[in-house]
Chain A
């Protein structure tokens, strides 16, 4: 399988690898995927509660090169965006940016889900109603 240069670049030099403090009220944590599927992404974001701007983002991923690249790219994109702007990121944007082949599209979908899950978690912590409760409900395997 030939990887695009961008996927290889993110794989070799992933951006924003690491963890934020889960217990910080301004940090939203999204954990999506499943080990049995071979893809698990953890995405965390620190959001400024007044400006609603994402100030920091970190990720960790168990998955193939495309999954790692998709989640690394996601952390790059969300930084500096508002919560609403980040929620508008579509997996198709990721596919285009990384030139993902059809068989790897699901990696981009997981990254989009991770963004929504992390922000959903942040919103919950702020006491906000979630726009789409289905995204962050537990255990739908």
Chain B
């Protein structure tokens, strides 16, 4: 039975808003539209109560307390606040930050900006499986290190970092530990106490909530983290983030967290099953396919495969009723192939052939079967068109070939 088309399988990029989240948010647009900071009338009190309720829902999902949740416009802002906020507040203590090469641009670009202001940043490499080496981390620490920032799980390859171990090292050395939790929260158990996390970026639109809202977890005890605000004007969120609260968005984020809390265990098992089904169905029917990143330490719903000799964008074009994404240069605005795959040591030729599948709450087994069939069909067809596949089948060692670059291209 053909599923409803087009099929959406790009849940690392964004997720549809769960209808139950929409329902929870609706009244706050039209009836309960008050400004949560209006202290003097019912409209304000109702909004404030809803915000505090949501705050508790977010905190519960990650085993934090409500006072430790700061609402923002999204995880990018949360990450900026965490890194810049610590950097400025603790600049007398030190000016060194440690992060790693496959972080999201929100982290990398923020660090690059701080380097311009005289901060020093170490970008740890990753091994072939996509994880950092804990010894590299230990060796990178100096007396001037004030922050370690490592993502829980990567958005392109779904690989999960050794967060609890990093948390232990950070605590031992008295360094704050920030985690970009965007892809992991609500998908695998994340516990700021168990994992030793001091700051964490949270995004609503990755967990079936609305776009334009997120949160930052900021630890209050053992140790207490203080931040310099990056947005001034009114002192909202305990002075950490000024600006009228996006009440409907926050209600949505809270509800999304609550649903994840309730459904995560069962959902992640179901999605792991679907992911394995997708992987088997594709890889059993095609040769020369490679998984990018560790399969062992990976989000249950994530898959990133390179299809040798077939370029990513042409593959996406062939499965144009399926929404997924690629690490190919042709699909990026800058015409550069994925820096994450490059960091894993995936050759540029294979980086161009990669496809990222992100399963989600609303995907079904029928959709998985349909997608696998379309992928196999399209890869097979494109390999007929591929001079590289032809050469490989003839036994030519492509890596040894010398190529004539096009005259004015790239």
Interface residues of chain A, those whose CB is within 8 Å of chain B, are: 3, 8, 11, 14, 17, 19, 31-42, 60-65, 67-68, 103, 106, 109-110, 113, 117, 135-141
Contacts and interface: CB of A to CB of B under 8 A. Distances in A.
A55 B388 CA distance: 25
Nearest to A34: B403
Question: Which has the most chain B C-beta neighbours within 10 Å: A8, A36, A38, A110?
Answer: A38
B385 A68 contact: yes
Nearest to B347: A36
B283 interface: no
Contacts of A65: 313-314, 317
14 contacts: A32-B406, A33-B403, A35-B388, A36-B348, A36-B349, A37-B406, A62-B309, A62-B311, A63-B314, A65-B314, A103-B335, A106-B409, A135-B407, A138-B402
B41 interface: no
Interface string B386-409: 111110000000100011111111
A106 B337 contact: no
Given A36-B349, A64-B328, A106 B410 contact: yes
B329 interface: yes
Contact of B387 (A11, A31, A139): A31
A63 to B, nearest CB: 5
A136 B405 CA distance: 10
Nearest to B335: A103
Interface of B: 309-314, 317-318, 328-330, 335, 337, 347-349, 352, 384-390, 398, 402-410
Contacts of A113: 404, 406-407
Given A62-B309, A64-B330, A17 B384 contact: yes
Ordered nearest first, which 7 A-B pairs have the shortest CB separation?
A35-B349, A139-B402, A106-B409, A42-B387, A64-B313, A38-B352, A34-B403
Given A63-B314, A64-B311, A32 B390 contact: no
Contacts of A63: 311, 314, 330
Contact of A106 (B312, B347, B398, B408): B408
Contacts of B409: 33, 37, 39, 106, 109-110
Contact of A40 (B328, B388, B402): B388
Contact of A137 (B337, B387, B404): B404
B385 A41 contact: no
Given A62-B311, A68-B314, A35 B348 contact: yes
Contacts of B385: 14, 17, 60-62, 68
Question: Which has the most chain B C-beta neighbours within 10 Å: A11, A31, A42, A60?
Answer: A60
Contact of B404 (A8, A19, A64, A138): A138
Contacts of A67: 311, 314
Contacts of A110: 406, 409
Contact of A140 (B309, B313, B387, B404): B404
Given A34-B405, A64-B311, A140-B404, 11 more contacts: A8-B317, A35-B349, A36-B348, A37-B329, A38-B330, A62-B309, A64-B330, A68-B385, A103-B335, A110-B409, A113-B407
B348 A62 contact: no
A64 B382 CA distance: 10
Given A62-B309, A64-B330, A65-B313, A37 B405 contact: yes
Nearest to A36: B348
A116 to B, nearest CB: 9
Contacts of A106: 406, 408-410
Contacts of B390: 19, 42, 60
A35 B389 CA distance: 11
A100 B352 CA distance: 20
Contact of A141 (B349, B403, B408): B403
A31 B404 contact: yes
Nearest to A11: B317
Given A31-B387, A139-B402, A38 B311 contact: yes
Contacts of B403: 31-35, 40, 139, 141
A19 B314 CA distance: 20
